[in-house]
Structure 1
């Protein structure tokens, strides 16, 4: 479970250290106080994409650390041991995750003080925290979401993984067969063309990086006269003229060296002149060697230009850059080899496709059976929770076979969530029956049912009680409270009925000091909880009556 969260320089948070406990912890506060920023911080710990706009104004970086207790989390322990990430931890009971974001856009992640890719945080995070957002009900109408929820509740991940893996392999083989079919329509013509193109390229016998070397050599030969004349002139000015730079520098160096005997502050300048003299002498020596060995060869230039012309012509013919000709030859040779072994390869692919198709449909049939068993269990459980949340009627998950001989990535089932919100009414798709408020409660019911079968130790509910009030809100609070008997629950809420059901209560406050804004998180004691629940009930004008109601609500849990 989550034990501690330390945040530095994130949005309006300057420095924050929050301790968490088991059971149900509620977070309340005025709109805009910074509750969502706490979730942003946890999202970064879980590997969410970094955003430099989250860095607090005036700061160079954001730094977030979370400490988790993982003594019973075998999945996480296995991952950190496989990655050798537990070296700095005294026991396997604690896991430290740290994330930093710099203003230059760099993001760094650490597990137990060891640098890791952000992807590692995502892999570990899915076994640490499960976040249910306030807009979860909006995605409930999507067929993809419905399938994912059913499969999550069904707990047949290994089988589903096998179905997906076999499908991907089948898809790859099928695409290769389709490509082969397209190639086969003009097989002989393609074969003839490839052989001609390869012969043409091999005849030129193009060396690796030959074009680049020829281009450099051509540039040198084409400008040989200018190179020679300029280098001679520079050499003359440096060392051969009456006022040669080399002689003048040497003279001035000796002069300033003598001056140093009168003022030692000139020693640095003397050293600089000494170094300059040495470098000028070396330059003169290098230039003389360059001029002496310089070779102007018109025949070589003509030969280079002729070779480059052939390479340019062939490159235009193949519509590629000249430097890509050797790689292009390798590609064409590979294509020719594939075509020449075409029929044998086709037969092997066809046999493989038949085997994979048979394997896929056997797995898909088993998956359908598992899904059907899960629908019965989940439908009854969600219907029961619907009644608790004051939604009448019934919930059902319908499985319909996809009438197709072609494998699909996630099995051969079309999954539909159906509901009737009043007794006696027929079951219909949830989006055509449920109102916004009913959809919110239905979503919460499904999430709570799923949470019971979810092994993740910490669950965060971010205003999933939106759109409900009164007695239904009280039921929601008690459902979350019961759920907290099995795992750690963090609940962001605006409702007094839900807030009163927590075992612990954190209040998020935003304060302004001069021109700066700060967010603070306070652990409320008994009296402070009464005041906060009363505020949620009555608004800004807290009365004795609202405090009495708040006291009664807290004592009834």
Structure 2
């Protein structure tokens, strides 16, 4: 249950702290006093959108903090799953800075809004005035029925299967679309791949071929110059090697009496040996160089073919062509394997579709099996609320396909009077009838959900007199098993509370502030008398207020 609500710097609130109690907490106040402001502040710790416009003092942050007693509600697993420290007295806080940025905390640990909403949805439910419009919403109607028939675990399992079903359906459609597009290009891709495979390309070969082409193109010139070099080195008696040999011989004749001659002889001999080796290499290279027009033609054709492929694929090297060939190979393999992939995905989709349909049918069966008890419960509550001839029925229509909520379309049919045909309640129900019907639904929902707290914001709209008293009895009955915080304008309902808070505007300072205080017994009599007769309180109103409160007349 909600024990304490602290609000700072929100709308007309400077600082406000409220201690709520178990049972039925009543909040009253004049129109415009700020009841909706307090509700809006509470909405922030329930995960509602935060904006800087709510700040009373624009240069200061807004803080809203609620302390909840969670003992006995088995929420420890949620805290463990989300790495939050559990405490029976748990504090939830929302902080909004002047720039409009907000942060959420649970027991002083920062949490995401998603986690915050998941937590508070298990702690508190707020019924605001506009929620009566939800009665016409098919999703809301289904959620009410599912809550009553305790389908929530089944729905969680089904939604997991449904998400997989949707994901696989989308994935299969994408694969089929890609396969269709790719198959249209398959012949061309295979032709390109075949052309590159037949080229038998080798990394860097164009450099070797260009060098070989140069050599073959100038073979005659190469051989002529190699032969000339060999002749100069070693071909006849006037060659360099013969002259060096004679130089060595000349120096050897004087080396025994001229010491420098020996070193010079050795150096010349070294040069002669090296040049002799060079002459041999030149001769061998000359023999290797062939005049081969056929090979030159083959090399030229190979280079032309490589250049043609490079131009076609808009690249500048054989390595890039090889990379394209490998990518084409992967593409062609993927396309040729699409049929297998499609078959595999279709099998997966068929399996998850069967599971989802089975789960959806089980949920539908549970809904239909529980709908009669649900209808009877609503009619019994409506009878208590002064509508003895009201009729209520849950109408089922098959959707014919899987949807997030299953395979049912549910419509609540309603008739307020005897012998009036059932019809869609959004078309025939008045405001007061909608309020009583919503109260009946909420009454059933909170019992099945087992929530610690529910806040009712003028759920009594459109009712008065004896009906208002009966509405109060239903709300009072709800408060026996949970905490109820009820905002009301009706004295017949206000008198049912175990604690009564008054919201009012304090205009004694420079700025108007919204305040709230717990009324004493005497103040409560005065407040309810004012609700009965207006600002000018009569003795009859006082007497009536005491009667409503069950007080003894003094």
The alignment's TM-score, normalised by the length of structure 1, stands at 0.72
Gap change, CA 1:71 and 1:336, over 3 Å in 2: farther
Gap change, CA 1:471 and 1:194, over 3 Å in 2: farther
- Residues 24 and 504 in structure 1, CA contact (< 8 A), matched pair in contact too: yes
Q: Please name the residue that 1:48 is paired with.
A: 48
Q: Residue by residue, what CA displacement relative to the aligned partner does 1:58-103 show, whole Å, maximum 9, x if unpaired?
A: 541101211111111212x2222333432xx7xx321011111011
Q: Give SS of 1:359's match.
A: helix
Displacement after TM superposition at 1:539 (Å): 1.5
> How far apart in 2 are the matches of 1:529 and 1:97?
31
Q: Give SS of 1:137's match.
A: helix
Q: Please name the residue that 1:523 is paired with.
A: 518
Q: Residue by residue, what CA displacement relative to the aligned partner does 1:399-430 show, whole Å, maximum 9, x if unpaired?
A: 2223x2x3222211121101121223332211
Q: 1:395 aligns with which of 392, 396, 408?
A: 392
1:73 aligned to 2:35?
no
In structure 1, the gaps of 5 or more residues are 200-309, 315-328
Q: Please name the residue that 1:156 is paired with.
A: 151
Q: Please name the residue that 1:385 is paired with.
A: 381
Gap change, CA 1:453 and 1:40, over 3 Å in 2: same
Q: Please name the residue that 1:347 is paired with.
A: 343
Q: Please name the residue that 2:281 is paired with.
A: none
Displacement after TM superposition at 1:179 (Å): 2.6
Task: Please say which of residues 364-373 and 178-187 is displaced more in the overlay.
Answer: 178-187
- Residues 135 and 464 in structure 1, CA contact (< 8 A), matched pair in contact too: no
Displacement after TM superposition at 1:114 (Å): 1.7
Task: Please say which of residues 352-361 and 170-179 is displaced more in the overlay.
Answer: 170-179
Gap change, CA 1:495 and 1:333, over 3 Å in 2: farther
> How far apart in 2 are the matches of 1:167 and 1:72?
33
In structure 2, the gaps of 5 or more residues are 195-309, 315-324
Gap change, CA 1:478 and 1:197, over 3 Å in 2: farther
Q: Give SS of 2:529's match.
A: helix
Tell me which structure has the larger Cα radius of gyration.
Answer: 2
- Residues 386 and 470 in structure 2, CA contact (< 8 A), matched pair in contact too: no
Gap change, CA 1:338 and 1:480, over 3 Å in 2: farther
Q: Please name the residue that 2:63 is paired with.
A: 63
Displacement after TM superposition at 1:337 (Å): 6.4
- Residues 134 and 465 in structure 1, CA contact (< 8 A), matched pair in contact too: no
Q: Give SS of 1:49's match.
A: coil
Q: Residue by residue, what CA displacement relative to the aligned partner does 1:21-76 show, whole Å, maximum 9, x if unpaired?
A: 1000010111111111211121111111111111113541101211111111212x
Structure 1 runs of 4+ off > 6 angstroms? 193-199, 329-337
> How far apart in 2 are the matches of 1:50 and 1:156?
33
> How far apart in 1 are the matches of 2:42 and 2:386?
33
Q: Please name the residue that 1:375 is paired with.
A: 371
Q: Please name the residue that 1:458 is paired with.
A: 453
- Within 5 Å, which residues of 2 pair with 1:297-336? none
The alignment's TM-score, normalised by the length of structure 2, stands at 0.72
Gap change, CA 1:395 and 1:120, over 3 Å in 2: same
Displacement after TM superposition at 1:111 (Å): 1.3
Displacement after TM superposition at 1:156 (Å): 1.4
Displacement after TM superposition at 1:144 (Å): 1.8
Q: Give SS of 2:355's match.
A: helix
> How far apart in 1 are the matches of 2:154 and 2:416?
34
- Within 5 Å, which residues of 2 pair with 1:4-19? 4-19=4-19
Gap change, CA 1:373 and 1:63, over 3 Å in 2: same
1:358 aligned to 2:354?
yes
> How far apart in 2 are the matches of 1:196 and 1:449?
71
Gap change, CA 1:56 and 1:360, over 3 Å in 2: same
Displacement after TM superposition at 1:375 (Å): 0.9
Displacement after TM superposition at 1:393 (Å): 2.5
Displacement after TM superposition at 1:461 (Å): 0.3
- Residues 9 and 59 in structure 1, CA contact (< 8 A), matched pair in contact too: no
Displacement after TM superposition at 1:515 (Å): 3.3
> How far apart in 1 are the matches of 2:434 and 2:327?
56
Q: Please name the residue that 2:171 is paired with.
A: 176
Displacement after TM superposition at 1:197 (Å): 10
Displacement after TM superposition at 1:154 (Å): 1.7
Q: Give SS of 1:95's match.
A: strand
Task: Please say which of residues 390-399 and 126-135 is displaced more in the overlay.
Answer: 390-399
